[in-house]
Amino acid sequence: MNRLISAVLILSVLFLSGCSTRGKRVYNGYKYSSPKSYSANKNAHSSVMDKKTYSHPTMRPYVIRGIKYYPTVVSVGDDFDGRASWYGPDFHGKHTSNGEIYNMWDMTAAHKTLPMNTIVKVTNIDNGLTTVVRINDRGPFVNTRIIDLSKAAASKINMIGTGTARVNIEILGFETKGKKRIPTEKELKKSPKVASLGGFALQIASFSNIEGALKTQEVYDNTDGYKTIIKDMEYKDGRIFKVWLIGFKSEEEARDYKAQGHFENAFIVRED
């Protein structure tokens, strides 16, 4: 009888010990809490970018492998189609472009041009699954891909096995709550200094201040079905915020539209 009681006690201890470790994810010796999730409710985030974001170093143009990228000011409701990929163990624990430590179990993502802390909804076009992530890194630097999801986010839309997926990205808002660690000057120099959409655009205005560019963008967005974006260009004499009309399928289409004379002094530019 004593042996039976002892055996039951031992089994009970082992069972309780096993339960106490559930819910903790261990990777390379690190323990992580469950991933931080973001509400898909647009009211949960600011619909306007903090003006400090406009002048942040991560919004300056940068060059990767000889290609120059330009961070772009976007608006809530903007959406983009493309192909998503995901990144995990090889980058886990390393610095992201905004100075945070990458945790592949957090709901985050990398994008070439979106402002840091932009909240986006990512929809897998093939299966309809969605996830909401915060942009905290730059990439992926592959022309055919528009966003790099964390492993946790990729799991949400069932694309771990395929590696990539066709997605739609919708801008939900901008995270303003909570204090983010400001990256050091050394980290910023190491991080990417943003992405061309390819094709041709029509430059309709340029300003030395972001306020003028934002007002022009708002007035002319969706003019004749074309969208407006702001390109933050850095020159020796300072920064210039250029307003581009995009969505032309060819150079000929852009030239035909320019010839209609809707915008005085407008000219065609390459999106690269």
pLDDT of 1 over the 80 cut: no
Please report whether residue 135 resides in a domain.
yes
Within-domain flag for 168? yes
Does residue 29 lie in a domain region?
Answer: no
Structure tokens at 194: 């943003």
Kindly report, residue by residue over 49-91, the tens digit of the pLDDT.
777 776 777 888 888 888 888 888 888 888 999 999 999 888 8
Torsion over CA: 139, 121, 230, 83 (sign):
positive
Measuring CA to CA, how many Å separate 262 from each of 6, 252, 255, 256? 89, 16, 12, 11
147/232 same-domain check: no
In a domain, 25, yes or no: no
Alpha carbon 149 to its chain's center: 9
Find the Cα–Cα–Cα–Cα dihedral 245, 82, 174, 156, rounded to 10°.
170
**Residue 10, exposed/middle/buried by CB under 10 A (0-12, 13-18, 19+)?**
exposed
Looking up residue 226, the CATH number of its domain turns out to be 3.30.70.1070
- Tell me: do 204 and 169 sit in the same domain: no
Strand partners, 84: 147, 165
CA distance 129 to 146: 18
DSSP character at residue 11 = H
For residue range 80-92, what is the model confidence (pLDDT) as tens digits?
999 999 998 888 8
In a shared domain, residues 118 and 152: yes
Are residues 134 and 53 located together in one domain of the fold? Answer: yes
What is the distance of C-alpha 122 from the center of its chain?
10
- Domain membership of residue 183 (yes or no) is no
The answer to which of 34-43, 51-60, 71-80, 97-106 has the lowest mean pLDDT is 34-43
pLDDT score at 63: 85
Instruction: State the DSSP H helix or E strand holding residue 67, giving kind and residue range, or none if neither.
Output: strand 67-69
Rounded Cα distance between 114 and 129, Å, is 22
Q: Which residue has the tokens 């010839």?
A: 259
Cis previous bond, 140, omega within 30: yes
| Residues 58/97, Cβ–Cβ less than 8 Å | yes
Total count of domains within the chain: 2
| Residue pointed to by tokens 């909804």 | 121
How remote is the C-alpha of 272 from its chain's centroid? 19
pLDDT, tens digit, 9 for 90 and up, residues 183-237 = 455 544 554 443 334 578 899 999 888 888 888 888 888 888 888 888 887 777 7
Instruction: Specify whether 146 is located in the same domain as 218.
Output: no
